[in-house]
């Protein structure tokens, strides 16, 4: 039996309810992610103090639709979400081998992201919760990324979390699930955004990250001494706009420069900045674990550099599995389950927040 009492919480994506659960129980959570250009639905089963089991995780990519524009077009993204979502929900239920009536909790990303995209997923999840008479949990997209390296564990340990995605570069001091303090953020372009923009300069297809990684394998990482901004002692914020501009000027001055050398030199600069600041944050917080997540964490050069350095520093490296690095609903479901088992649900009349912060 579940009783509800209304309680507002600071920084909550929507008006929040507190659940009083008579006893621990297994819960099936259906999550929707539609913050940008990936439509995703996942179904997870979990219980308090136990690792979550992903029963289904479906993603409909929109990369090809946006590639011709060199970036995400909000109107195209939201229309594609509307067209893809119903089929994804049905496929996820079939894969999980359950019916809609077997779902105990519904959840969706409430921010940050594109408003028109967020509305599609959140409205659908709320509608299903309303019709089913089941709770709804709103999830912060960045919390999904932050916790994703620990989806196979029974608890989220204290650690330094580094989220590196197309829209965000964040360093977080994580004391426990739901207890976070920001240590560093980007002052301008996020690392993933810099990869996309430099990729475009080099004539590589969107998104730029995979193309740059592939080109860099055959390049000289020391060919160009690109800047590493905001690296003074103690600084934990990030800035990649100067690096991006340096690449532009280099191309203008050297039109015949090897794309492979520029890609390798650029990638090396980004990796060094990310790694140095993450290690600094870990030492400052006296943390012995670094969690690495977000789309850029798929980059092999990033993973290898972090693995080597963390080994030397006797720091455990927890990296999100490849399938949950880019936008997906499994990470949203995991974060949502933890909120649910912490006694938190959200009102159905709450609104999205495109600028939601952790």
pLDDT at 10: 35
Spatial separation of the C-alpha atoms in residues 299 and 238, rounded to whole Å: 18
Nearest Cα residue to 27 out of 333, 327, 268: 333
Among residues 325, 258, 308, 315, the alpha carbon closest in space to that of 283 is found at: 315
Domain 2-151+326-346 coded CATH 3.40.50.1370: no
pLDDT tens, the chain, 358 aa long: 233 323 333 334 444 444 444 444 899 999 999 998 889 999 999 999 888 999 999 999 776 666 766 777 888 888 999 999 999 999 999 999 999 999 999 999 999 999 999 999 999 999 999 999 999 999 999 999 999 999 999 999 999 999 999 889 999 999 999 999 999 999 999 999 999 999 999 999 989 999 999 999 999 999 999 999 999 988 999 999 999 999 999 999 999 999 999 999 999 999 999 999 999 999 999 999 999 999 999 999 999 999 999 999 999 999 999 999 999 999 999 999 999 999 999 999 999 999 999 9
**What is the three-state SS of the chain?**
CEEEEECCCCCCCCCEEEEEECCCCCEEEEEEECCCCEEEEEEEEECCCCCCEEEEEEEEECHHHHHCCCCCCHHHHHHHHHHHHHHHHHHHHHHHCCCHHHCCEEEEEEECCCHHHHHHHHHHHHHHHHHHCCCEEEEEHHHHHHHHHHCCCCCCCCEEEEEECCCCEEEEEEEECCEEEEEEEECCCCHHHHHHHHHHHCCCCCCHHHHHHHHHCCCCCCCCCCCCCCCCCCCCCECCHHHHHHHHHHHHHCCCCCHHHHHHHHHHHHHHHHHHHHHHHHHHHCCCEEEEECHHHHCHHHHHHHHHHHHHCCCEEEECCHHHCCCCHHHHHHHHHHHHHCCEEECCCCCCCCCCCC
| Model pLDDT, residue 73 | 81
**Whether 109 contacts 334, CB under 8 Å:** no
Cα–Cα distance measured from residue 288 to residue 315, given in angstroms and rounded to the nearest whole number: 5
Please state the CATH superfamily assignment of the domain spanning residues 159-319 in this structure.
ATPase, nucleotide binding domain (3.30.420.40)
Report the alpha-carbon distance of residue 309 to residue 162 in Å, rounded.
Answer: 15
Is residue 232 left, alpha or beta, with left meaning phi > 0 and alpha meaning psi from -120 to 50? beta
Beta bridge pairs of residue 61: 38
Task: Determine contact, residues 89/108, Cβ cutoff 8 Å.
Answer: no
Query: pTM higher than 0.75, yes or no?
Result: yes
The CATH 3.30.420.40 portion of the chain extends over 2-151+326-346, 159-319
What is the model's pLDDT at position 2? 33
């Amino acid at each position: 039996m579940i009783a509800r009492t209304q309680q507002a919480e600071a920084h909550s994506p929507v008006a929040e309810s507190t659940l009083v659960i008579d006893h621990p129980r297994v819960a099936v959570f259906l999550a929707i992610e539609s913050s940008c250009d990936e439509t995703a639905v996942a179904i997870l089963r979990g219980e308090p103090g136990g690792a979550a089991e992903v029963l289904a995780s479906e993603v409909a990519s929109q990369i090809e639709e946006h590639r011709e524009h060199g970036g995400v077009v909000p109107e195209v993204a939201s229309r594609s979400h509307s067209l893809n979502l119903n089929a994804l929900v049905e496929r996820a239920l079939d894969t999980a081998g359950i019916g809609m009536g077997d779902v105990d909790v519904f959840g969706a990303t409430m921010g940050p992201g594109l408003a028109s995209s967020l509305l599609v997923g959140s409205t659908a999840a709320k509608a299903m919760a309303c019709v089913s008479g089941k709770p709804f949990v709103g999830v912060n997209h960045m919390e999904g990324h932050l916790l994703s390296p620990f989806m196979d564990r029974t608890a989220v340990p204290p650690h330094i979390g580094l989220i590196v995605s197309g829209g965000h570069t964040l360093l977080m001091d994580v004391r426990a699930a739901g207890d976070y303090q920001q240590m560093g953020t980007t002052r301008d372009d996020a690392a993933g955004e810099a990869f996309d923009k430099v990729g475009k300069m080099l004539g590589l297809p969107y998104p730029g990250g995979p193309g740059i990684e592939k080109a860099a394998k055959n390049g000289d990482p020391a060919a160009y001494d690109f800047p590493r901004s905001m690296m003074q002692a103690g600084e934990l914020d990030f800035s990649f706009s100067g690096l991006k501009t340096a690449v532009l000027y280099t191309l203008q001055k050297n039109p015949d420069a090897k794309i492979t050398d520029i890609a390798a030199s650029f990638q090396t600069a980004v990796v060094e900045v990310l790694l140095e600041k993450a290690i600094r944050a870990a030492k400052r917080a006296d943390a012995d674990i670094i969690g690495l997540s977000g789309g850029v964490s798929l980059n092999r050069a990033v993973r290898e550099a972090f693995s080597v350095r963390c080994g030397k520093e006797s720091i455990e490296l927890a990296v999100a599995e490849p399938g949950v690095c880019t936008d997906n609903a499994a990470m949203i479901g995991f974060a949502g389950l933890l909120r649910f088992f912490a006694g938190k649900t959200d009102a159905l009349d709450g609104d999205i927040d495109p600028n939601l912060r952790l």
